[in-house]
Amino acid sequence: MNVAIYCGSSFGNNKIYEESTKILAKKLALKNYNIVYGGSEQGLMGIISNESLKYNNKVIGVITFDLAQKELENKNITEIYRVNTIDERKEKMAMMADAAVALPGGCGTLEELLDVITWKQLGIFTKPIIIVNIDGYYDSLIDMLHRAVEENFMRELHKDIWTVVGSVEEVVDAIRISPKWDKSVRKFAAL
């Protein structure tokens, strides 16, 4: 199984993000869940990749040529795919993944997460999406997603697109019990 990890290329201000990322790497490695991520050696991205390698886990990076030329690429990972654009990167990561997990991060992480949520709503991506709400990091986003449902921009059934957990210890079980989703939901994408 390949798990796409969306997370920051920075560490953030709270040490719990770094600690949680290390724990997640170990938990996924113990289940033989490979990592697919953005290919960087920076921030939480560097932690998820390097910690996973410590457990002999397979780590697959997808990075743009531009970012690779800026020497942000982790050269120690198992496999690396270089692509032309961020859009290609997001698509490649999602299509390689059997699940997507969002840890704290900035605009890039939010974009990746919202893209797979949209793709799942359209039946393009049908795999589990887990939002790890460490220390309430994603509270505002979760409120906004629920507001979209309340305001009738999304259907009630769309709440099953994602699963929110409070800690990385819950991720493996959340992937396993995530509601089934198939391409037929496409007909329910619009209200």
The tokens for 80 are 């690396």
pLDDT average, residue stretch 163-172:
97
Predicted TM-score (pTM) of the model is 0.94
Q: What are the pLDDT digits (tens) for 36-47? A: 999 999 999 999
* Cβ density class 1-33: b for 16+ within 10 Å, e for less: ebbbbbbbbebbeeeebbebbbebbebbbeeeb
Residue-range definition of the domain harbouring residue 54: 2-188
Name which of 114, 116, 3, 103 is nearest 57 in CA terms. Answer: 3
Quick one: what percent of the chain has pLDDT higher than 90? 88
pLDDT average, residue stretch 8-35:
97
Q: What are the pLDDT digits (tens) for 105-160? A: 999 999 999 999 999 999 999 999 999 999 999 999 999 999 999 999 999 989 99
| pLDDT recorded at residue 132 | 98
Rounded distance between C-alpha atoms, residue 16 and residue 136, angstroms = 11
What backbone torsions phi and psi does residue 73 show, to the nearest 5 degrees?
-75, 140
Q: Count the domains in the chain.
A: 1
For residue 181, give the CATH number of its domain: 3.40.50.450
Asked if the model's pLDDT at residue 89 lies above 90, the reply is yes
Asked if the model's pLDDT at residue 191 lies above 60, the reply is no
Asked if the model's pLDDT at residue 189 lies above 70, the reply is no
| pLDDT recorded at residue 126 | 95
Asked if the model's pLDDT at residue 64 lies above 70, the reply is yes
